[in-house]
Amino acid sequence: MTSSTYLNHTNLRDIWYTMIGIPGLEDAHIWLSIPIFSMYIVAVIGNTFLILLISIEHSLHEPMYFFLTMLALADIFLSTVTIPKVLAIFWFQDGSISFASCVSQMFFLHFIFVTESGILLSMAFDRYVAICYPLRYTNILTPSVIIKMGIAAVTRSFSICFPLIFLVYRLTYCGKSIIRHSYCEHMGIARLACDSIKVNIYYGLVVALFSIFLDVVLIIVSYARILCAVYRIPSQDARLKALSTCGSHVCVILLFYTPVFFSSLAHRFGGDSIPLHVHILLANLYVVLPPSLNPIIYGVKTKQIQERVVQLFSLNKVIC
């Protein structure tokens, strides 16, 4: 048995990596940490507040808000899996991470990301039923159906992402210890191996096709049918009201998927024309920017949430 094979199969627990943050922007890490930390705090507080508000306000116990609760919970987890370590790198130059911890972060990052994509698809279905079958809305989207849709999103994500652990553990690692990133992701770990990673590449494409890409196609189909239904409504006011109920969800969809597709296209077709630090900076933004803006978008664009927030703060003023 070669020394590299021995390292791979016996001492993986002894492998430690060093993440260097954003390559080429090391001198700006402190400055970059300010907006990232601010967005993380907003994401945690904003989504926690949204979850608590929906939980205590019985008037918000509707399918749309149950899905929004799932989305807010996923947003908290998505940013928390990555951002604390990113800040440790930026503030304390603490980029060291064990192989097992790196793989764990990789799994939870991809697992939560795919789960959130499934939740956004469920929310698109919710809007489709609400607009195309308004009289049957509560009969179709019963609490048990909503729970099953949430479980389905989590189960699909787990089934797709769990094999990633085995795909990185099967590889041979022989000395590369620098991760040119702020957090661990599948291909970042795989590229540190000394043998072929074609299986990892192909499986990564399969995951993208049968999760993110498929979800986007189904969301587009849902909204195409929604638009067809809306434009059959004779009243212009009724059409605008129907479309306004989808406004916040469309904004969240664009905010979630646009950076992902831009990053993916840049990786595959950008070549050396797009600097590495741009890729890594964008990767940091899409795990914290959508979670920080989602509660703000729903707070601004959803009248029921606005009303409950105003009532809540007015009540607090009266009590004080």
Summary mean pLDDT of the chain:
86
Which among 153, 191, 145 is positioned nearest to 171, based on CA atoms?
191
What pLDDT sits at residue 12?
A: 66
d(CA 244, CA 86): 37
What pLDDT sits at residue 73?
A: 96
pTM above 0.85, yes or no: yes
What pLDDT sits at residue 1?
A: 43
Enter the tokens of residue 13: 């627990």
Band the pLDDT of 59: cuts 50, 70, 90. confident
d(CA 199, CA 176): 20
**Is the pLDDT higher at 292 or at 315?**
292
3-state secondary structure of 46: helix
d(CA 38, CA 172): 39
Which among 219, 30, 40 is positioned nearest to 127, based on CA atoms?
219
Q: Mean pLDDT across the stretch 22-37? A: 92
d(CA 71, CA 291): 9
Torsion of CA 198, 202, 208, 214, to 10 degrees: 170
Does residue 308 carry a pLDDT above 80? no
Helix (H) or strand (E) holding 97: strand 96-98
What pLDDT sits at residue 9?
A: 47
**Is the pLDDT higher at 109 or at 318?**
109
Band the pLDDT of 125: cuts 50, 70, 90. very high
Q: Packing angle between helix 99-132 and helix 63-92, nearest 10 degrees?
A: 150
pLDDT in tens, 185-215: 998 899 888 888 999 999 988 888 888 999 9
What pLDDT sits at residue 116?
A: 95
Helix (H) or strand (E) holding 96: strand 96-98
Which percentage of the chain shows pLDDT scores above 70? Answer: 90
Which among 241, 258, 222 is positioned nearest to 124, based on CA atoms?
222
- 8 A C-beta contact, residue 115 and residue 83: no
- 8 A C-beta contact, residue 172 and residue 4: yes
Amino acid residing at 199? V
How many other C-beta atoms can be found within 10 angstroms of the C-beta atom of residue 240? 11
What pLDDT sits at residue 11?
A: 61
- 8 A C-beta contact, residue 86 and residue 54: no
Does residue 174 carry a pLDDT above 50? yes
Q: Mean pLDDT across the stretch 43-47? A: 95
Torsion of CA 309, 312, 314, 317, to 10 degrees: -130
pLDDT in tens, 210-263: 889 999 999 999 999 998 888 887 777 777 877 777 888 888 998 898 887 777
Q: Which of 7-11, 20-24, 256-260, 299-303 bottoms out in mean pLDDT, i.e. has the lowest?
A: 7-11
- 8 A C-beta contact, residue 308 and residue 57: yes
Q: Mean pLDDT across the stretch 156-168? A: 95
d(CA 186, CA 165): 9
What pLDDT sits at residue 240?
A: 80
pLDDT in tens, 85-123: 999 999 999 999 999 999 999 999 999 999 999 999 999
Which among 105, 80, 95 is positioned nearest to 29, based on CA atoms?
95
Q: Mean pLDDT across the stretch 159-181? A: 90
Q: Which of 91-100, 142-151, 173-182, 273-282 bottoms out in mean pLDDT, i.e. has the lowest?
A: 273-282
Instruction: Sort 214 into a burial class: Cβ within 10 Å, 0-12 / 13-18 / 19+.
Output: middle
Buried b (16+ CB within 10 A) or exposed e, 277-305: bebbbbbbbbbbbbbbbbbebbbebbeeb
